[in-house]
């Protein structure tokens, strides 16, 4: 049997570090595509910008444009990952759509739970979104609210594909200090935060203080950028840590918390469910079955749900999603995988 032609894929988006969100999804796709025989490269537009095998820092605009066009001219299928919630994101989308015309059409995944509100603020943004996304061969949203917002702008044929695959949920070594914290905490809560308002850190700290007044041995483990700077009774911040260590932290906790004020389809929520952890989250974006929901911005409701979850079992979770496999099929890699198995 003759070997199938090698597929070429260029992923444009954030790449770890920092870890989490879009960067985690891009990294999963990168490794999955390569594991299935594709020639896959990443054009890293994130904050890390660290060169690695198959990962190219984008640098400034002239370098980015030159690299993007060069990859497309060499036949790489462009797949851009962006938030869709600010003008810069749409400028990036337009550039990738134009480059994609050189290599058979580009794909785009829109990730941010802030996108619906941003598009709805000004009618011209909807017109812009329809014009830009009409140039893509495939438009992907990570949640139904994002798809519905695009539909209101006249964008049709949007696939909803979670930015998650349970095959990558593999805890590593625990971060230093976790074992001691786990031994003393009754219960141990865990959350990922970042220094942006939509992550709801202040609401979380307020809610946890209320819980601690009832459960003095309770502790809260935080991870993510800036978490090491949080100082409050019973709270320990682990900072920005690699995903495997974050998963170890999550697996050790009694309850995982997602207090965000806006969301797409949280990878960390799906990770916690895959690890069998009870999850309390705000009712924004998409939440899978098995999550205890509270209104966003309500510290009292969040505190009550945290106390209840600590004393109960995890709710029945929905079957784990495999969004990576769906996207690989859009790259044409399913057939290649089958052919490889046969040969």
Tell me phi and psi for residue 198, to 5 degrees.
Answer: -65, -15
How many angstroms separate the CA atoms of 77 and 83, rounded? Answer: 20
For 91, residues 6+ apart whose C-beta sits below 8 A from its C-beta are none
Rounded to whole angstroms, the Cα distance separating 147 from 33 reads 25
Contact between residue 19 and residue 246 where contact means Cβ atoms under 8 Å apart: yes
Phi, psi torsion values for 314, nearest 5 degrees = -65, 140
Taking alpha carbons only, the member of 335, 266, 337, 261 closest to residue 302 is 261
Each residue's pLDDT, cut to its tens digit, for the chain (343 residues) gives 444 555 899 999 999 987 878 999 999 999 999 999 999 999 999 988 887 899 999 999 999 999 999 999 999 999 999 999 999 999 999 999 999 999 989 999 999 999 999 999 999 999 999 999 999 999 999 999 999 999 999 999 999 998 888 888 999 999 999 999 999 999 999 999 999 999 999 999 999 999 999 999 999 999 999 999 999 999 999 999 999 999 999 999 999 999 999 999 999 999 999 999 999 999 999 999 999 999 999 999 999 999 999 987 777 666 666 889 999 999 988 644 433 332 2
Element (H, E) at 138: strand 138-141
pTM: 0.86
The alpha carbon torsion through 91, 96, 102, 103 (nearest 10 deg) reads -170
Identify the structural domains of the chain with CATH numbers, from first to last.
Answer: 8-165+321-342 (3.40.50.2000), 168-310 (3.40.50.2000)
Please give the full DSSP string across 239-280, using - where no structure is assigned: -S--HHHHHHHHHH-SEEEE--SS-SB-HHHHHHHHTT--EE
Output the furthest CA–CA distance in the chain (Å, rounded).
68
Instruction: Write out the DSSP string of 208-237.
Output: HHHHHHH-TT-EEEEESTTGGG---TTEEE
CA distance 331 to 72: 15
User: What's the pLDDT score for residue 341?
Assistant: 30
| 77-82/291-294 β-pairing | unpaired
Q: How many CB atoms lie within 10 A of CB 121?
A: 9
Q: For residues 208 and 218, give the distance between their C-alpha atoms in angstroms, rounded to a whole number.
A: 9
CA torsion angle 41 264 332 91 (round to 10): -60
Which is it for strands 138-141 and 55-57: parallel, antiparallel or unpaired? unpaired
Nearest to 106 by CA among 136, 75, 81, 85: 136
């Amino acid at each position: 049997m003759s070997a199938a032609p090698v597929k070429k894929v260029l992923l444009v988006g954030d790449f770890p570090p920092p870890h989490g969100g879009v960067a985690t999804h891009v990294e999963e796709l990168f490794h999955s595509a390569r594991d299935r025989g594709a020639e896959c490269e990443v054009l890293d537009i994130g904050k890390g910008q660290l060169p690695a095998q198959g990962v190219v820092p984008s640098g400034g605009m002239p370098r980015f444009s030159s690299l993007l066009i060069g990859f497309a001219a060499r036949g790489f299928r462009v797949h851009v990952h962006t938030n869709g919630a600010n003008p810069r994101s749409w400028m990036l989308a337009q550039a990738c759509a134009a480059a994609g015309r050189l290599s058979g059409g580009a794909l785009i995944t829109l990730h941010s739970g802030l996108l619906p509100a941003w598009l709805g603020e000004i009618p011209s943004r909807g017109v812009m979104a329809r014009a830009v996304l009409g140039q893509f061969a495939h438009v992907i949203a990570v949640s139904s609210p994002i798809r519905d917002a695009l539909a209101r702008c006249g964008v049709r044929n949007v696939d909803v594909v979670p930015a998650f695959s349970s095959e990558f949920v593999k805890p590593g070594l625990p971060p230093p200090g976790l074992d001691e914290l786990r031994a003393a905490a009754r219960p141990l809560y865990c959350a990922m935060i970042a220094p942006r308002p939509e992550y709801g850190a202040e609401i979380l700290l307020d809610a946890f203080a209320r819980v601690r007044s009832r459960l003095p041995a309770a502790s809260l483990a935080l991870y993510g950028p800036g978490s090491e700077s949080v100082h409050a009774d019973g709270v320990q911040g682990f900072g920005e840590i690699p995903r495997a260590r974050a998963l170890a932290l999550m697996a050790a906790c009694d309850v995982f918390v997602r207090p965000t004020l806006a969301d797409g389809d949280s990878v960390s929520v799906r990770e916690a469910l895959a690890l069998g952890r009870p999850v309390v989250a705000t009712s924004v974006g998409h939440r899978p079955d098995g999550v205890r929901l509270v209104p966003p911005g309500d510290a009292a409701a969040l505190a009550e749900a945290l106390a209840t979850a600590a004393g109960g079992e995890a709710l029945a979770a929905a079957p784990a999603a495999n969004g990576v496999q769906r996207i690989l099929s859009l790259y044409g890699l399913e057939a290649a995988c089958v052919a490889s198995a046969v040969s």
